[in-house]
Each structure stands twice: as structure tokens, then as C-alpha cells.
Amino acid sequence: MDDALGSPGVAIVSEDFARRAWPDKNPLGQRVSVSGKDGPFLTVVGVAREALTMGVTERKRPIIYTAQRQTPRVLDLTVLVRSRTDATPLASSLRSIIRSLDPALPVYDVQTLAKYRYDRGAESRLGSTLLAIFGALALGLATVGVYAVISFSVGQRTREIGVRVALGAVRRQIVTLFVGEGLRLTVTGLVIGLALSAAVAKLLASMFLGISLSDALSFAAAAVVLVTAAVAASWIPAQRAARVDPMTALRHE
């Protein structure tokens, strides 16, 4: 079937469109309309793989491709040229070839696909960088806060530690007790925080490319940092208090 001007209208559909429109049929030869239920109708002559053409924030959607020669409405066309080597030196040759076909045809914005993708991702990279900076600051503040709160809580219980030592508790038992309590509080906060983080990650995944709920490394790294801070905040004051003479600890205010 020809796609020249005046020939019966043809179209190519994406795989997602074909699966939704004709789940149990061969899409080739089926008829579709891009102008409403009254047509004109186009005959499907091919199925193309899914493609993202509108930017890095685009998500997959059903697509119908019409023939440019049959519906020459788009004046801004993109020509893709594949090269086995570096494509940068081909720019001048491409301009010469196109001008030999039509000297009045403007040729602009000639660039490699890598450069195009880099430029289109500039906005997302800026947003991702800002999110990473603010996330690192938030993690740092959370780490300092966890350490300060738990360390202060353990320090306030110096008299209790003195009583336990006077009753025969050894240093290892005291340290294990306070580290365990600190970890229980931290794990409770982590469970709540990870649940909220998963919800935020789901929102960000719709806005930035490359963010997914399966990115367990980031969640695990944050959890390890906070758990380490909690262990240190419990272990260091408990060790210090356990070394104090019981009578001195009992007089501690």
C-alpha cells in the first residue's frame, strides 16, 4: 500500500495502541481514525515499538503515526541519520545534501542524539540535583537530631545507671539495654519514614526520569546512617555513665 498524496490513508500504530484496540486480532489491515468516529479512516500498515518523543518526563501512551506525504501539516521535521562512527563531522555533509534537494529548505539545529538528550534533560538534572542537595541536608539534620535526642535521653538516666551498677549490673548489660531502647525508637521512626518516602518517591517518579520505588539503595543508605547515629548516641553516653562510680551517679542531677 502506498503512502503518497492521493492514495488511501495509511497509519502506523504503537504496540500499546495495538494491544488496547485489538487485543485478540492482527492490527495490520485494521482501520483507525484521528478525526473522530466519522472518519476519514486510515488503514494500519505497521506496528512500531513504544517511543518517547516529547521529553524525559513523558510516559508511554498509545500513538498513531500518520504519513507526512498524505497529511503534510507538520512543517518542522526531524531527520535522523545513523552513523557507525562519530556523527559530529556529518553535519556539513547533511546540510549540503538537503540543500541539493531544495536550496530554499532551512536546515537548523543539527546535533548528535547524545547532545539532544543532554540538552533536553537539563531541567530534570537541575531538579534532581536540588532534590539531592536538600535530601542530603535533611538526612544530616535528621542524623544530628537523632543523635542529640537519644544522647540527651541516656544522659538524663545517669542515676538509673548508678542504681543498676550498685545492684550488680555489669557494663555490657547496661550498654546493651540502652542501645536496644535507642534502636527500638529508631526502627519505629524508620518504618514511618520509609512509608512516607515511598509515597513521595511515587510522586517524583511521575515527574523525573529514573526514579522508582525499586531504588532500594537510597532507602537502605539513609536507614544505615540513622541506625548508626542511634547506636552511637546510645552506646557512647551509656559507656561513659557505666564507668562512673555508683555513688557519684546516684548524686547526679
Model pLDDT for residues 181-210, shown as the tens digit of each residue: 778 878 888 888 878 877 777 776 665 555
| Residue 47 pLDDT | 92
Per the model's pLDDT, the better-predicted residue between 19 and 90 turns out to be: 19
Asked if residue 13 has pLDDT above 80, the reply is yes
Instruction: Please name the amino acid found at residue 74.
Output: V
Q: Which of 22, 74, 237 is nearest to 151 (CA)?
A: 237
Highest mean pLDDT among 42-51, 100-109, 201-210, 234-243: 42-51
Prediction pTM value: 0.54
164 versus 94: the higher-pLDDT residue is 94
Peptide bond into 27 cis (omega under 30): no
Give me the residue label for grid cell 535533611: 138
The pLDDT tens digits for 92-145 are 888 888 888 888 888 888 888 888 778 877 777 787 788 778 878 887 888 888
Contacts of 71 (CB under 8 A, 6+ apart): 9
Mean pLDDT, rounded, of the chain: 78
Distance CA 115, CA 121 (A): 10
The partner residues of 48 in beta bridges, in order of sequence, read 14
Mean pLDDT over residues 12-30, rounded? 90
Tell me if residue 200 falls in helix, strand or coil: helix
In a 10 Å sphere around its CB, with 0-12 CB exposed, 13-18 middle and 19+ buried, how is residue 114 labelled?
exposed
Is the pLDDT confidence value at 166 over 60?
yes
